[in-house]
Amino acid sequence: MTAAQLPRVAPEVTATLVEDLSPRLRKRLDAAVTKLGARPVQHDGDTVTIAVDEETDLRLHAPGGVVVTADAITCGCLLAPACVHRAAAACAAPTADPAPEPAGPQDATAVEPASRPDDTVQAPDVASPAQRAAAEAVWSAAAAVLEAGVDGAGAVAQAALLRAAHTARLQHLPRVAGAALSVVTLLRAARAGDPSYRTAGLVTALADVLGTAHRMGTASGTELAALRGRSRRPYSPDGSLRLYGLFTEPVVTGSGHGGVRTWVAGPDGRLFTVGDVAPGGVGRALGAADRAVRLGESALTHRELGRAGLAVSGATVSPDGRLGAGKGVRAVTARGAAWTEPPLAALWEVPPSQQAAQALRSTSRYADPDAGGSDLLFLDVELRGLVREPGGACLLASCDGGVTVRLTVADDDPALAHRDNLMLLATAPGTRLRIVGRLVPALHPRLALLACSHPTGEGTIDLGLDRLRRADLPVPDARVDPAPQKAGDAGAYSPLHLLERRVEQTVPAGRAALGMLGDVSAETRRLRRAGLPTAAGLLTALCASAARRERDRFGRLLPADTDGFATHWLAAARYASAVSESLCAAAWEPA
């Protein structure tokens, strides 16, 4: 059995079932989840049956694919309903999120913010006592997860965070609730050995939920509105739009969803997207490119829209530029524009450093979800060749201003064309291309390559969907100096990683991992010599907080200061992220 075979379970259901267990059964819960994962599963309509053993079945009734009540999970064992099996099934299943999928299809029933009950009443300038209490509960639960680390944050700790997330959502705090659910999802992926899990992702999620909950008590006005977030993505009317296709990229998520996202631009340079993402993985992503765009009466496919145009009336747009597909939207096919023609040509006229600064504001780890903006860069480059890095190979290119950019694949899935196209382009140093890439925050200029002009100068290439041939490439110019075999990082090195690795080290093993480090004065000296005295102070305070344990008058250890440690860790994580973004922006400045 895998989590994908089970229906989604509402967070409050999981929390209730775990809370109802006796202390003895809670100790056995993690083992029960592991044991249940080895049992066979059968589907019969809205009911999923797990064979606990030869005589006992566990049933999950999930109308619409979601278990919404604790009574919908039943077990046939003698201890039911007070058995551990019901809670184990809920903990093993994916968590249901009432909010729409971030990369999901356009919602034809998307409503305006003013039509939702919780937005019709003018929000006060400060958080209510109930909201502050809910945020404090999320903080405490997330701090406990940080204290224990991935290895110690089992089903019980996850259930506590799910309960806090549910309480936050009831108090109209969808942003902090969604962040808490993201932490639970990543924790489960880490503990299950999911190959798509990355520690950096859990670091960001934990810092986001802790930071949002921490600021809730003191924020007011627009800051408080941003911290509260929105329960649904708002689509605002935008009148009539004349759109020009740019390119189409495949989208494959770790949750098994697949599809495409087509980027279009308006006459003023604003970027919009039209998506079609649903369960199906990479196979669906390849097929969706040739499906009709679900926008008005247009008969264009996504692949065709990336090279054509649209005239839209009654358009609705989300803060991140997604075009809604409601009943009032009308769209007809119109003439597109080449990348070298107005209005698209203006996108490549903005200096790379300015584009990078704008992209960083939208790709920041802790950016406001409703802030909008794009993470795309539009550059004219000259290819230099392939270089090797510790994490693999990338394509080196030079752009205006003397900036050398590393171009990497946007997705390593062998079914997509990204990798093969990049390797083929690397065999033609000296070729000049007009490219579109997604900013990859790093200490050196780095982009995930998404689309480029055709090497022959005719048309464009969607590098994830279209496949270049060797005949499409010009003959390499022997006068072009080849790229170095290894990409040096001189000038891009910073000892900030000394702080970043301690922040990341806490997440897998918890507070104990830092408490046993001992003296870190050598690391702090290196940070100070590099002009980072704040980083040195944060590192010292973080390690001291991890090792500090007070004793009472009889010499017995007192409970650890979980809140104090979480505060020091949060300060270090947010500082490291801010400095990394500043160094990334500086790397894009002309030499």
> Would you place residue 209 in the very low, low, confident or very high pLDDT band (cuts 50, 70, 90)?
very high
Mean pLDDT over residues 147-152, rounded? 93
Higher pLDDT, 367 or 314: 314
Please tell me the predicted confidence (pLDDT) of residue 121. 41
Residue with the bigger pLDDT between 376 and 412: it is 376
CB 411 within 8 A of CB 250: yes
pLDDT level of residue 501 (50, 70, 90 thresholds): very high
**Strand locations in 127-281 (E):** 236-252, 257-265, 271-279
Average pLDDT of the segment spanning 349-356: 92
Please determine, for residue 137, whether its predicted confidence score (pLDDT) is greater than 80. yes
| pLDDT of 491 higher than 70 | no
- Around Cβ 237, how many Cβ atoms within 10 Å? 12
* Whole-number pLDDT of residue 298: 80
User: Rounded to 5 degrees, what angle do the CA atoms 244, 250, 256 make?
Assistant: 140
Q: Please give the residue that has the higher pLDDT: either 110 or 472.
A: 472
Tell me how long the chain is.
Answer: 591
Confidence check: pLDDT of 406 > 80: yes
Average pLDDT, the chain: 86
Q: Is the pLDDT of residue 493 over 80?
A: no
Residue 235 contacts residue 266 (beta carbons within 8 Å): no
DSSP count for the chain of H helices, then E strands:
18, 17
Q: What is the topology classification, in CATH, of domain 350-472? A: OB fold (Dihydrolipoamide Acetyltransferase, E2P) (2.40.50)
End-to-end CA distance of the chain: give it in Å, rounded.
55
Confidence of residue 297 (pLDDT cuts 50, 70, 90): confident
pLDDT band at 348, cuts 50/70/90?
very high
- For residue 424, is pLDDT > 90? yes
Q: For the chain, which residues make up each domain, given as ranges?
A: 3-92, 117-228, 236-337, 350-472, 497-587
| pLDDT attached to residue 577 | 92
| Radius of gyration for the chain, computed over Cα atoms and rounded to the nearest angstrom | 26
Query: What confidence score (pLDDT) does residue 343 get?
Result: 94
The tokens describing 247, both together, are 């390119």
Please state the rounded mean pLDDT for residues 395-411.
Answer: 89
Q: How far apart are CA 126 and CA 131, in angstroms?
A: 10
Percent of the residues in the chain that have a pLDDT greater than 70, as a whole number: 89
Q: Quickly list H helices, 236-337.
A: 281-288, 302-305
Q: Are 405 and 447 in contact (CB under 8 A)?
A: yes
Q: Does position 531 have pLDDT exceeding 80, yes or no?
A: yes
**573: number of CA atoms within 13 Å, CB side?**
28
- Asked if residue 61 has pLDDT above 80, the reply is yes
User: Higher model confidence: residue 434 or residue 2?
Assistant: 434
574 close to 542: Cβ distance less than 8 angstroms? no
Q: How many CA atoms lie within 13 A of 61 on its CB side?
A: 7
pLDDT score of 196 more than 80: no
Per-residue pLDDT tens over the stretch 111-124: 333 333 344 344 45
Say what the pTM is.
0.82
Within a 10 A sphere around the Cβ of 380, how many other Cβ atoms? 16
**Selection from 395, 416, 412, 413 nearest residue 404 by Cα:** 395
At residue 559, the pLDDT reads 79
State the pLDDT at residue 516: 83
Mean pLDDT of 414-420: 92
Q: What tokens appear for 474 in the block?
A: 């010009």
Q: Quote the pLDDT of residue 215.
A: 93
Give the percent of the chain with pLDDT over 90: 55
- Among 10-14, 98-102, 481-485, the minimum mean pLDDT is found in 98-102
**Type of residue numbered 134:** A
